[in-house]
Each structure stands twice: as C-alpha cells, then as structure tokens.
Amino acid sequence: MTAELPVFEPVTKEEASRIGTAPVPAGPYYQSDYFDAECEAVFRRSWLNVGHTCELPEPGDYIVRELEVANASLLITRNRDGLLKAFHNACTHRGTQLVSEPCGRRQVFSCPYHMWTFNSDGELRNAPDFDQFYVDKAELNLKPVAVDSCGGMLFINLNPNPAQSLRDYLGPLADQLETLPSARATTFSEYVYEIDANWKLTYDNFQENYHLRFIHPKTGAATSGKDNPFGYPLRYGFHDPHRTQTIWSNPQPQIQPFQMLAFGKGMQFAMQDGLVGSEQSKEYYAVFPNLFILGSPMQPFSHTVYPISATKSRGVIRIYWVGEDDCASRRFAREYAMGLARDIHSEDRAVIEAGQRGLNSGALTHIHFQAQEVLCRHLFNMVDERVQAYRAERQTGGAQ
C-alpha cells in the first residue's frame, strides 16, 4: 500500500492577524522623505550584511563595500592577528578614498593623494612632512565601524559602538545560522542586479509565495502542488525585528529529467560535503533589514537588497559552496543551481518594476496585504516603527 501524504494546512487568517490587518500606506514605497528617514533610522542603526568571511581567509585580505544608503565606502580587513576590522574608506587627511579595488591583500593602505599610510588596524603609520601639521598622529587613525560575523555571514554596523552586539541583535537566529551550510562555505557564485524599485517592494517579492503560480509556473514546480497551489509556507516565525518561514516542498513535483539529473548530482555532492542533515534545511531567514538566507544543502544562498534611492535598489544573490570545483559533475551541479536562481529572478524583475511604476503615480494611497503576505506586513511594521521613533526623536531634539 502507498502511504498517504500529509495534507497541507495553510496558516490561518486568525493566526496571521496578530501582526495586523489594516492596509498600510503606499507612500513609504516611493516617497523620498520617507526613504531619507529610513536611511537614518534603519540602515545607520542596524547590523547590515556586507559579505561572507570566506572573502577574507588570510591576514592582510581586504574587501571594499559601497553603501549608497549611507553615502559610505567601507574598507574591511583581516589584520595581522586574524581579527576582522572595518573602517570608512576615507583618508583622515582630506577624505580621499584609500582603495579603489574591490578586494585584495595588503598589510598597509596608502592614500594616492598625499601618501598617508595606514596599517590593517587603521592606524596612521606614516604621513610625509607631518611636522607641518597641528595634530597628533594618534588622532588621525581611520574612522572605524563595527564588524562581526555569524554563521560565516559578515556584518557591519555604522555605529562603532552599537547598542547591541551582533549576536544579541540576531537573538534566537544566531545559533541557527551557525548550523547552516553557508557557515562552512569557502567560496560562492554571485549574481548582482540593479532594479528600478524601492528596496522594500523588491524585498517583499521574495518573502511571499502568493505570486508563485502566476510568475513561476514552471520554475516553481517544486514549491507548489495540488494541495498547496500557491506554495504557501508551512509556518511563519517572528523574532522582532527578524522573521522566518518554513518552506513547503511538493511531495510529488513535476520535474524534468534534466532537472532531476542536476538535483541528483547536487544532493550527491551535498552529502559528500557533509551539508545534509541540518534541522534548518527548509528554513528561510529574513534578517532585518535587508538579508535573506536559505539553509538548503543543495542551494544554500543569501540575497541582500541594498537601497540606492527611494525607487532604486541593488540585489546581491550568492550561492555558497565548500571547496572549489574538482570535477565536471560538481561544476555542472553548481552552474545549474545558479542558472536556476537567475531564471527565477528574471521572471520576477519585470513585475516588481511594474509595481513600482504604478506606486510612483500616487494613484494608490494604501497597500493591502492578505494573511499569507504576513511577512511583508511585518517588515513594514518593523521599518515604520523605527522611522516614526526617529521622527519623534528629531522633533524632541529640535524643540530643546
């Protein structure tokens, strides 16, 4: 006898309603003044993902990250003792950026303008004819930002002394991220895109499944089925300000032979690399404000959506691997995984931009989220809570 498959039961409207049911204002998805407040209230006060520790494996390694949302260029290094350090990529003489290359290995960083030289701890070590200045060298070290990692993911906080450590900020998610395949990654595949859409509108597309059957009828076959035609998650989790969803997988997916071959090879290598078995393999983590992480052993990925303006953002999608390609089959499995990710994303892009164009007109005063779009509502709530607190803070400060 064939065992009966469990019947899918979606999260109910009553369960989701505790996050709220009212329409949310549309303005925060396109208005410049709201975006400016987000930059200060959210992105200058939160831990932000900027990469992975596998990019800095050895002392002297460095990466540079551009954060338009903060008008900042950041230099992140691993010093002689193997510790992570991060600074503004700006010479403390007259602000000239020290480094233009996106990555490399150096023990010292010299400003191209007047050759002020700093070590990987950010200390000013040499400045030509320094006796002519009216300041001590010790006061001219590079301006630091906080940096830390969890589960291999690299985070910065623009406040050099943040109110919370990274682990406190992540809360219960911290220990779970340490168990994911991405925590052991030594390399990755990357896909970067720019999109004419607000960062929240872009981000929301990837935390709701309501659109899957319409936008991804073929590529989403594994995440939708007869009992769950929309591919809704099994459950949602809220860990303010973060959120999670547990992905439902179709027990009888319609998969093409070529896909089966690629998935089979991917699972084979995931097992060889010891990546199978995590309890979090079906968890999809939405780390506030702008990071996604998936724990699947065959396609462990991150997706970070960086704001550029009120109506433009940049996404960085990465799939993480252990070890370099050592045979054609492993290369094939990895290339297919990234190709599939790009195919799925290409189906999303046009409809996200179409949504932004519609909102830009001002025709809508509010957006309506249904119960299974509860993660979108939660993100809005978390952002708006901080924006309103920041605005109140500004008003109070101005009245003094």
Q: Does the pLDDT at position 258 exceed 70?
A: no
Average pLDDT of the residues of the chain = 91
Domains present along the chain, CATH in parentheses: 7-26+179-400 (3.90.380.10), 46-171 (2.102.10.10)
Q: What is the pLDDT of residue 221?
A: 58
Q: Does the pLDDT at position 5 exceed 60?
A: no
Cβ–Cβ contacts within 10 Å for residue 268, how many? 14
Q: Pairing between strand 312-321 and 84-88?
A: unpaired
Q: What is the pLDDT of residue 254?
A: 65
Q: What is the pLDDT of residue 234?
A: 93
Q: Side chain identity at 18, as an amino acid letter? A: R
Give the mean model confidence (pLDDT) for residues 13-32. Answer: 97
Q: Does the pLDDT at position 33 exceed 80?
A: yes
Q: What is the pLDDT of residues 235-255, one digit of tens each?
A: 999 999 999 999 887 766 666
Q: Does the pLDDT at position 193 exceed 80?
A: yes
Report which of residues 250 and 230 the model is more confident about: 230
What are the residues whose beta carbons fall under 8 Å from the beta carbon of 104, sequence distance 6 or more?
61, 62
Q: Does the pLDDT at position 21 exceed 70?
A: yes
CA 156 to chain centre: 12
Give the mean model confidence (pLDDT) for residues 294-315. Answer: 93
Q: Does the pLDDT at position 356 exceed 50?
A: yes
Q: What is the pLDDT of residues 98-121, one digit of tens each?
A: 999 999 999 999 999 999 999 999
Give the mean model confidence (pLDDT) for residues 185-200. Answer: 96
Q: Does the pLDDT at position 325 exceed 90?
A: no
Give the mean model confidence (pLDDT) for residues 312-336. Answer: 90
Per-residue confidence band for 144, with pLDDT thresholds at 50, 70 and 90: very high
Q: What is the pLDDT of residue 1?
A: 42
Does the predicted model carry a pTM greater than 0.85? Answer: yes
* Percent of the residues in the chain that have a pLDDT greater than 90, as a whole number: 74
- 């109140």: which residue's tokens? 392
Report which of residues 101 and 325 the model is more confident about: 101
Q: What is the pLDDT of residue 213?
A: 87
Q: What is the pLDDT of residue 278?
A: 62
DSSP codes joined into one string, 256-281: -HHHHHHHHHHHHHHHHTT-TT-TTT
Per-residue confidence band for 397, with pLDDT thresholds at 50, 70 and 90: confident
Compute the distance between CA of residue 118 and CA of residue 140 in angstroms, rounded to an integer. Answer: 10
Cβ–Cβ contacts within 10 Å for residue 387, how many? 19
Judge contact between 281 and 183, C-beta under 8 A.
no
Per-residue confidence band for 337, with pLDDT thresholds at 50, 70 and 90: confident
* Percent of the residues in the chain that have a pLDDT greater than 70, as a whole number: 89
Judge contact between 378 and 243, C-beta under 8 A.
yes
Integer-rounded Cα Rg, in Å, for the chain is 23
Q: What is the pLDDT of residue 222?
A: 61
Per-residue confidence band for 277, with pLDDT thresholds at 50, 70 and 90: low
Compute the distance between CA of residue 194 and CA of residue 225 in angstroms, rounded to an integer. Answer: 32
Q: What is the pLDDT of residue 67?
A: 97
Q: Strand 124-126's sheet: what is its strand order?
A: 108-110, 117-119, 124-126
Q: What is the pLDDT of residue 99?
A: 97
